[in-house]
Structure 1
């Protein structure tokens, strides 16, 4: 399989990975043949790329830190939690911890695997898949930071619920770009950190430190964040971790009306913000654990050849293994560049 921009998918191409709704339900299942109607529906949902079957890359396996079943369960339970808050009901903290326990267990079992799967999500309700992705990435970063099991649970619960205060923000504000908010709308939006803190503190089953993740994930190490303009280590470690992965997920998925950027661009942007807005040590650790060029993505090499990333080099994520696209691949020997060994070759562009 390989990833392909929705505008380049052909009618009859076969879906290689299921596309999920924000609540975990399967919108289109793996193996479905894409029709004009399906492609129109996907565009309408804001989905810009999909994974399709391709015989030349049938051996390509994209390993996710968690299973599809666990991801679907997490999406469903976050949907239940956000619906409960919006209707004035309380959150079941035990169910939240059970969901997070599965995520933590699988991330620990799969540690050493680069975060490599691009999330083909709908823009219909971005808050739910965003929350799940932040939880997963925060857990992976926490493992890399050598946090023990109990602290990983606290961090992961905080990551899953970090934006719970946004359930109190009008939906029309959430659909606008942050740079297009009026002063009044921005004040309402920024209030979500305090709202989230208050909501989570009331859930007896959850540690109060998880509430501080919701409170502090928009603080910045130089003191320019909100709500309290904390600096450096005055921001809790969990808050600093979630600040990094929260921004990365928003960059690559275009949350809040912004146009999404590609992973390698998001990595560059995080580096540019490290030491000022984001904790430099945590950014550097994160970049060692995320695929700069995810497997399945199409690239143009400095040789002029076009290929697909088929494997990752954990030691240097920005130098993956690329298999060259061959029009007559059945009759031509497979050609691959391992960019750690083929040092004179580099990725010139990412194709969508």
Structure 2
């Protein structure tokens, strides 16, 4: 493929005229992306390094899907991010001094990568253990919050602050006894009281490490368990006093918790979680934010490869607004994993006994 030359000058309000790819075939900025100063600078840096290629199209569905999704890149980036966050959290836990620019640079890097490929928010491994739960959950919530912010049209600076707050939102959970992470059944009143203080403890830990939180970052951490009916914690704020950033993190936090494997319950499938999150935690989450996330999750899951309960494998090609759990799936492989000669569409609404069993990687068998 010929190399792409970036010759334009940055002007506010511009959009990218064609897809921008890396040499490895990864789509980093699709056509129509709103050009920000950060994205412009990143493109120029890549172009000068000879890393950019022009767009390439293909009529082959699987090849196109694979080239755009690049699961190997996604997994590499997510693994690197998890390791970096684990190292950062360990330093904060120990009370070590943290260089503030290290945290800001990490948040900016996450912003750039999610802006380039929102599917990263679907790539955090789900089989979490009590030992790695906080790191995995924090990264998951951070990526989901970034996707919501992008589709709410929040400014870049505000989105980066949201990413920072979302990443740090559960640091106070490190002070909770490990047995509570595995406990089945209801917590006792003292255990609940301790749990309800984890946002406050998190802020104390962060500030002890020398990080000066902005008001937006502090709000995301302190108020992500507040609810619109005023029955949340730790302050019991009414809806009007819950900052937008905290309402975004609350929705992302709920969805992440639903879809995580825990010691006391199995993870919920994305499709079931979409249905549950659309109910807005009984109406106590911000319904507009829920709507943005559920709508975008459908978009992200659209074209993903799935295995049905029948054993058939195919791609989600259409969602039905009245029943997001039962989309239409283009079947490409039979129950034995063999390619079908004539592909066919299976509308799961029409056959209630068939359901999506798993979301798969592009090359998974």
Contact residue 60 and residue 296 of structure 1 kept, 8 A: no
Deviations 1:28-47 (A, max 9, x none): xxxxxxxxxxxxxxxxxxxx
Partner residue, 1:187: 193
Contact residue 104 and residue 152 of structure 1 kept, 8 A: yes
Partner residue, 1:84: 91
Displacement of 1:331 after TM fit?
7.7
Task: Report the secondary structure of 2:275's partner residue.
Answer: helix
* 2:303 is the alignment partner of 1:297: no
Contact residue 220 and residue 276 of structure 1 kept, 8 A: no
Task: Report the secondary structure of 1:278's partner residue.
Answer: coil
Displacement of 1:68 after TM fit?
3.2
Distance in 1 (alpha carbons) for counterparts of 2:92 and 2:228: 31
Distance in 1 (alpha carbons) for counterparts of 2:125 and 2:90: 23
* 2:269 is the alignment partner of 1:262: yes
Alignment of 1:198-277 (within 5 A): 198-201=204-207, 203-255=210-262, 257-273=264-280, 276-277=283-284
Q: 1:76 to 1:328 in 2, by over 3 A?
A: closer
Superposition RMSD in Å: 3.3
Partner residue, 2:329: 321
Q: 1:93 to 1:207 in 2, by over 3 A?
A: same
Q: 1:280 aligns with which of 272, 280, 287?
A: 287
Displacement of 1:219 after TM fit?
0.6
Name the TM-score, length of structure 1 as normaliser.
Answer: 0.71
Partner residue, 2:143: 136
Name the TM-score, length of structure 2 as normaliser.
Answer: 0.68
Contact residue 163 and residue 214 of structure 1 kept, 8 A: yes
Q: How many residues of Structure 1 are paired with residues of Structure 2 in the alignment?
A: 288
The structure whose Rg is larger is: 2
Alignment of 1:1-352 (within 5 A): 61=66, 62=69, 67-111=74-118, 115-117=121-123, 119-123=125-129, 124-177=131-184, 179-201=185-207, 203-255=210-262, 257-273=264-280, 276-291=283-298, 295-300=304-309, 306-313=311-318, 319-326=327-334, 332-337=340-345, 348-351=354-357
Distance in 1 (alpha carbons) for counterparts of 2:339 and 2:281: 48
Displacement of 1:321 after TM fit?
3.4
Q: 1:102 to 1:334 in 2, by over 3 A?
A: farther
Moved more, 184-193 or 199-208: 199-208
Moved more, 85-94 or 263-272: 85-94
Partner residue, 1:6: none
Distance in 2 (alpha carbons) for counterparts of 1:166 and 1:266: 23
Task: Report the secondary structure of 1:180's partner residue.
Answer: coil
Q: 1:333 to 1:236 in 2, by over 3 A?
A: same
Contact residue 218 and residue 227 of structure 1 kept, 8 A: yes
Contact residue 221 and residue 277 of structure 1 kept, 8 A: yes
Displacement of 1:207 after TM fit?
1.8
Task: Report the secondary structure of 1:119's partner residue.
Answer: coil
Q: 1:176 to 1:78 in 2, by over 3 A?
A: farther
Contact residue 94 and residue 205 of structure 1 kept, 8 A: no
Distance in 1 (alpha carbons) for counterparts of 2:251 and 2:263: 17
Contact residue 310 and residue 323 of structure 1 kept, 8 A: yes
Contact residue 227 and residue 236 of structure 2 kept, 8 A: yes
Distance in 2 (alpha carbons) for counterparts of 1:171 and 1:328: 43
Contact residue 312 and residue 337 of structure 2 kept, 8 A: no
Displacement of 1:138 after TM fit?
0.3
Distance in 1 (alpha carbons) for counterparts of 2:337 and 2:266: 35
Displacement of 1:166 after TM fit?
1.1
Contact residue 311 and residue 336 of structure 2 kept, 8 A: no
Task: Report the secondary structure of 1:333's partner residue.
Answer: strand
Gaps of 5+ in 2: 1-61, 359-365
Partner residue, 1:45: none
